[in-house]
Amino acid sequence: MCEHSHEKEESSNVKDYIFVLLGIVVFLIAIFINQTNISVILYIASYLLIGYDIIIKAIKKLFKRDMFDENFLMVVATIGAFAINEYTEAIAVILLYKIGEFLQDRAVDSSRKKISSAIDIRANTANLKLKNDIKIVKPEDLKIGDVILVKTGEKVPVDSVLLSNVCELDMSALNGESKPVSLKNNEQVLSGAINIGAAIEVKVEKTFENSTVSKIIELIESANKKKSNTEKFITRFAKIYTPIVILVAIVIALLPVITSISFNEALHKAFTFLVISCPCALVISIPLGFFVGIGASSKKGILVKGSKYIDTLTQISSIVFDKTGTLTKGIFEVTKVKSYGNLKEDEIVENIAICESYSNHYIAKSILKYYDKKIDTSNIISHEEIAGKGIKAKTKDGNIYCGNYKLIQEENINIVAVEDVGTVVYLAINNVCEGYIILSDKLKDDSLNLVARLKKLGIKQTVILTGDSEDIANDIAKKVNIDKVYANLLPQEKVDIFNSIKAENNNEKIAYVGDGINDSPVLSLADIGIAMGKGSDIAIETSDIVIMSDEPSKLIDAIKIAKKTKRIIKENISFAIAVKVVLLILSGFTSISMWLAIFADVGVALITIVNAIRIFSYK
């Protein structure tokens, strides 16, 4: 369907070019013919051939009572030029406007192609392995459990699990990093990654529509639907600005009634005024600026879901972080096992592993990896996971509780709090606390100097909200230089604390950065929610920005690109308005040529477009 639409657009462009060329030929003939009547007819024919689409747009807008745009202004100005026998100027205006439109389209297409190449991560085909054959299929046709072959240089079509021993992947399209990523057997391979090593076999883990590549494409396609405040302002501005301009032009046209100026000169001034007033530079360059900003972010592995979030990024004063998986790697390792005497240490680990066997929580995965033995799940009768606390499991041997201090205490089981730094998972069997294990998380390498760099960008306050213990949270906060810490929080408590932080900061713009299911309520509440790319699907769906590389330092790039985008857009607005105001004032008092008026419209628009594309130069 997209290809058909593209072909239709190309066909329409070719037709437009032919009409413009014919119009130019007729225009040149009209100039060299001495017979006035024939020349006038040829001028009119030339005008219609060159500007037919602009005239049609203006008429359609007129019938919809929404005519206050550049097309309407252009048609009124050029028809007025015909009325005062300025045929060559009328056609020159429409022709140069068309040339300007063509150059603008080329500039916009160029920026779109840059963005498309930056996010060209979809594989067109997949090599499905059958018993004795390989069948080439569409990624959409793959099913969970299918085995596919990814050859050297090919993109991974869907999120999968590596069956081969090792692989080397280029993941720059996903995370903006040129450094290859090495994976081992049974690790997850994300769709959109390019295999740069030997051919590998992978097993489909997610269908195409649920894979990373589809979600990225969907985010990019929907990004511009969420307009920034600047874009909304320009839309409102145009609706007020255009009728005022037309009224002023009418007043100028009526000058002969109260002054000695001739009727022809007054009309010329009025129509020149209309051409100068066309808001092309603002209408085109502002959305393009935000679009290029979104594209520049995507090249860095930062997916921005709408231009309004570029706006918001430049205004945030505080950033609130989740801890696990955001500032830390979220890769927990068992560092201590303690038994209170009834069970051996390996039995403590075994029972906790049984209790955690149905959970997808990162702590559960770390425990199961440490246990590294097959679990007989047939022994489990029921299993309940309690957010922010732990798990209750009923087995044939009795009730097992594994979780934090709160969970064991709520079950009225005698327990002594452990003071060691780390995530403590207690084990209780049939209402007796049997022991515990301690897991430790590692800080991400780029978290260490993150806060210092954010402060340089104007961020006033940084906060951690975590469900982890106060000792662990304070330890991480001290290493990273976080300003405030709130620990031992359940999901609802995170929401309450976040709301209180907003109230304390007089409702200044606050960002939240997280990766888990329990972060999604706060991500949706924040002025701008930022999810880590390896986080939960719900967190990614709820957020406004996704950092695909899972590096918190990408926040620096996101804010810098947003600030550069906003600065360039302000430059464009200031430049366009300044040129127009100066020439509009001059046109009211002196005689300005239509050529200068055209520069104020088409020329200024082109300059602002070129300026907007500079956003891509961010490094």
For residue range 30-62, what is the model confidence (pLDDT) as tens digits? 888 867 788 889 999 999 999 888 888 888 877
- Residue 230 in domain: no
Look at residue 226 in the predicted model and tell me its pLDDT.
52
- What is the phi/psi pair of residue 64, to 5°? -85, 0
CA 520 to chain centre: 17
| Local structure of residue 600 (DSSP, 8 states) | I
Between the two ends of the chain, the Cα-to-Cα distance in Å is 36
DSSP string, 87-139: HHHHHHHHHHHHHHHHHHHHHHHHHHHHHHHHT----S-EEEE-SS-EEEE-G
User: Quick one: 454 and 426 in the same domain?
Assistant: no
User: Using CA atoms, how far apart are residues 167 and 429, in angstroms rounded to an integer?
Assistant: 43
Residue 257: C-alpha distances to residues 204, 251, 409 (Å): 80, 10, 92
- Last residue of some domain: 396, 423, 440? 440
Q: Does the structure show a pLDDT above 50 at 428?
A: yes
Give yes or no for residue 171 having a pLDDT over 80: no
Number of domains in the chain: 3
Q: Residue for token digits 């932080």? A: 501
Q: Do 339 and 436 belong to one domain?
A: yes
Does residue 293 carry a pLDDT above 80?
A: yes
> Is 322 marked active-site?
yes
Three-class secondary structure assignment of 221-245: HHHHHCCCHHHHHHHHHHHHHHHHH
Same domain, 380 and 433: yes
Determine, yes or no, domain membership for 545: yes
Check residue 562 and give its pLDDT: 94
Across 22-35, average pLDDT: 86
Residue 257 domain flag: no
Paired strand residues for 182:
168
389 neighbors 491 (Cβ within 8 angstroms): no
Residue pair 531/540 in contact by the 8 Å Cβ criterion:
yes
Cα angle for residues 551, 552, 558 (degrees, 5° grid): 100
Pick from 371, 343, 359: nearest CA to 403: 359
8 A C-beta contact, residue 185 and residue 162: yes
- Integer-rounded Cα Rg, in Å, for the chain is 32
> For residue 143, how many other CB atoms are within 10 A of its CB?
9
Which CATH number characterizes residue 137's domain? 2.70.150.10
Higher pLDDT, 585 or 160: 160
> Model confidence over 220-263: pLDDT tens digits?
555 445 555 655 566 666 667 777 877 888 888 887 777 778 87
Share of the chain above pLDDT 70, in %: 85
Give the distance, in angstroms, between the CA of residue 147 and the centroid of all CA atoms in the same chain. Answer: 32
Q: What residues contact residue 344 under an 8 Å CB cut-off, 6+ apart?
A: none
Q: Do 419 and 504 sit in the same domain of this protein?
A: no
Rounded to an integer, the average pLDDT of 436-465 is 92
pLDDT for 107 beyond 70:
no
Residue 225 CA to its chain's centroid (Å): 11
Query: Pairing mode, if any, of strands 510-514 and 528-532?
Result: parallel
Q: How far is CA 179 from CA 1, 117, 245, 409, 549, in A?
A: 36, 19, 55, 48, 12
264/144: higher pLDDT: 144
SS3 of residue 220 by DSSP: helix
429 and 481 fall within a common domain: no
Looking at this protein, which amino acid is placed at residue 2? C
Token couple for 353: 């592993």
**Does residue 606 or residue 19 have the better pLDDT?**
19
* pLDDT single digits (tens) 69-93: 667 767 877 787 787 777 887 787 7
Answer yes or no: do 429 and 460 share one domain.
no
Catalytic residue among 170, 322, 515, 550: 322
**Mean local confidence (pLDDT), 204-227:** 69
The residue from 555, 580, 601 where one domain ends is 555
Q: How far lies 95's CA from each of 54, 284, 381, 596, in Å?
A: 11, 19, 79, 14
- Residue 527, in any domain of the structure: yes
Instruction: Evaluate whether residue 38 is within a structural domain.
Output: no
pTM of the model: 0.65
If you write DSSP's letter for every residue of 168-196 in order, what string do you get? EEE-HHHHS--S-EEEETT-EE-TT-EE-
Task: State how far the Cα of 33 lies from the Cα of 39, in Å rounded to an integer.
Answer: 6
- What CATH number is associated with residue 521? 3.40.50.1000
Are 483 and 433 members of one domain? Answer: no
CA distance 510 to 127: 46
What proportion of the chain, given as a percentage, has pLDDT over 90? 28
Exposure of 111 in the CB half-sphere (CA atoms within 13 A): 26
Interatomic CA distance for residues 228 and 528, integer angstroms:
13
- Let me know whether 432 and 483 are in one domain: no
Are the C-beta atoms of residues 573 and 200 closer than 8 Å to each other? no
Q: Is residue 102 part of a domain?
A: no
Q: Model confidence over 108-118: pLDDT tens digits? A: 565 455 445 54
Inform me whether the pLDDT recorded for 425 exceeds 80: yes
Identify whether residues 537 and 435 lie together within a single domain: no
Report the C-alpha gap between 187 and 472 in whole angstroms: 28
Dihedral sign from CA coordinates of 22, 28, 29, 31 = positive
The three-point CA angle 274-586-233 to 5° equals: 55
Q: For residue 144, which of 200, 210, 213, 193 has the smallest C-alpha distance? A: 210
Residues 118-159 have pLDDT tens digits of 455 678 899 999 988 899 999 999 999 999 999 998 999 999
> Does the residue 396 lie in any domain?
yes
- Domain span holding position 541: 445-555
- Final residue belonging to a domain, choices 535, 555, 575: 555
423 pLDDT higher than 70 = yes
**Polymer length in residues for the chain:** 619
Which is nearest to 190 in space by CA: 155, 164, 138, 239?
155
In a domain, 517, yes or no: yes
- Give the tokens for residue 81: 């030029």
> Which tops the pLDDT comparison, 209 or 176?
209
Residue 477 has φ and ψ, to the nearest 5°, of -60, -40
Q: Are residues 451 and 432 in the same domain?
A: no
Give the integer Cα–Cα distance in Å for 26 and 24.
Answer: 5
For residue 49, the model assigns a pLDDT of: 92
Do 384 and 353 fall within a single domain?
yes
Mean pLDDT of the chain: 82
CATH number at residue 416: 3.40.1110.10
Residue 276's pLDDT band, with cuts at 50, 70 and 90, is confident
The label of the residue with tokens 């030029």 reads 81
| Angstrom distance (rounded) from CA 345 to CA 24 | 90
425 in the same domain as 339: yes
